[in-house]
Structure 1
Amino acid sequence: MTLELDHVAVLGETLEEAAAHAEAALGCPMLPGGVHPRYGTHNRLLGLGEGLYIEAIAIDPAAPPPDHARWFGLDDFSGPARLDKWVCHVPDMTKALEALPMAGTPVQLARGNLRWLMAVPEDGHLPYDGLFPALIEWQSPVPPGSALPAAGPRLERLIVAHPEAEALEALLAPHLDAPLVSFETAPRPGLRAELTTPHGRRVLQ
């Protein structure tokens, strides 16, 4: 059972703030995404090539609030937009959750031609202050990372910083196959993506 990097997510109090934060950092416009009725959220996307992409996501003010916690801890998100989540795809969600039950419970989701399983904790909050990777199993032949046009930026490194980074790295090490991901012990949790773009080297955090 392996975890491979699928995408990273910029959260915002509004989708406009989340998208603007990513666009300002990378110098590229985000593309339209869609809505997620089960969680009352909506998104925009940006292809990074090599099967990777960036998602800007926020609560959709036009959607009725769900009767359960939203994913990615969005119910409690506040402050400036920021790179806040990383998502890994797995070939078999059942086996993934046997190995890493703290990732949540599987939820079947669909939008247009896309079908996927997502592991979501009951309270919406991932472990390690939200820096445990969200797990996804794509059930569509062409996931977004492969379907989105490459916009120019390329991910060079994703740094997962946390006071307990060593423990998180050790927990994931038997399963994680993501050479671009590194772990860094730091007093405050956070993500930092280092990318090359047509405008030079950029950092998204």
Structure 2
Amino acid sequence: MHQAPLHTEPDHLVVTAASLQAGMDWVEEKLGVSMAPRIGGEHVRLGTHNALMSLGPGFYLEVIAIDPAAPAPGRARWFGLDRLAPGAPPRLAHWVARSGDIHAAAQAATIKPGVIEEMSRGALHWLITIAADGALQCEGALPSLIQWQTEPHPASALPELGCRLERLELDHPRAPEIAETLQAIGLRDRRIALRTAPAPRLAAAIVTPHGLRRLD
């Protein structure tokens, strides 16, 4: 029986911050576009909360932080949030790629993206890969995998702000291995610029109503 080739595409960018407000303020300063009041909601299982900003159809930016009102989850939080120092500055830390078959994509990945877990926030339900220790794979350069189980995509509910991802720059010493994984999971997007470099770095060039701006 012929198996259809895997197809994976960028789903969202992840900005981590010591507080949700600090992250939102940083994005507004960098892009010149206000996120308020774009509060997403709480992730009860992991003790975090987020805010979202549209970057066009099927794609968005997420600011995520530990929710000070939530009890400790009794496990490692995702996106390396437990490793943030108090008052750590916000940063573009990670990105997430969407798959129609997360189990097949995770199996095909040559660098394993983590354990597939069920998650929810309000009426949204999805599957996502999370490392057991909550760390970012390849310091954030390798995407987590996500498969949405509810429709429509969350970006469709966000106000249109005229912002679009122009380029996602990924520098990493293991760039060839990351490239092999991206190819294995069927992710081919001209906006992804991956190169070998001594130190890991993520940066996003985003077209805004004020011109091209950068998150890094």
TM-score (norm 2): 0.90
Identity of aligned residues (%): 44
Work out whether 1:150 is the aligned partner of 2:155: no
Q: What is the root-mean-square deviation in Å for CA atoms of aligned residues?
A: 1.4
Contact (CA 8 Å) 1:3, 1:178: kept in 2 or not? Answer: no
CA distance in 2, matches of 1:113, 1:151: 24
Alignment partner of 2:183 out of 157, 165, 173: 173
- 1:58 corresponds to 2:69: no
For structure 1, which runs of at least 5 residues remain unmatched after alignment? none
Q: Which amino acid aligns with 1:202?
A: R
Find the aligned partners of 2:175 and 2:107 in 1 and give their Cα distance.
22
- Aligned to 2:70, the other structure's residue is in SS state coil
- Structure 2 residues without counterparts, runs of 5 or longer: 1-5
1:114 paired residue number: 124
Task: Supply the distance in 1 between the matched residues of 2:27 and 2:197 (Cα, whole angstroms).
Answer: 23
TM-score, normalised on structure 1?
Answer: 0.95
Partner of 1:92: 101
Deviation sequence 1:1-40 (CA, Å, 0-9, x none): 2221000011111111111111111111111111101111
Cα offset, 1:49, TM superposition: 0.9
SS of the aligned residue for 1:201 comes to: strand
Q: Residue 115 of structure 2 aligns to which amino acid in structure 1? A: T
**Cα distance in 1 for residues equivalent to 2:51 and 2:181:** 31
Correspondent of 2:74 among 55, 67, 70:
67
Q: CA deviation at 1:198?
A: 0.8
**What secondary structure sits across from 1:161 in the alignment?**
strand
Deviation track 1:42-95 (CA, whole Å, cap 9, x = no partner) reads: 111100113111000011111101111111111102331100110001101211
Asked if 2 retains the 8 angstrom alpha-carbon contact of 1:154 and 1:195, the reply is: yes
Cα distance in 2, alignment partners of residues 117 and 27 from structure 1: 32
Three-state SS of the structure 1 residue aligned to 2:137 is coil
Name the count of aligned residue pairs: 205
2:91 maps to 1:82: yes
State whether residues 7 and 145 of structure 1, in contact with CA within 8 Å, keep that contact through their aligned partners in structure 2. no
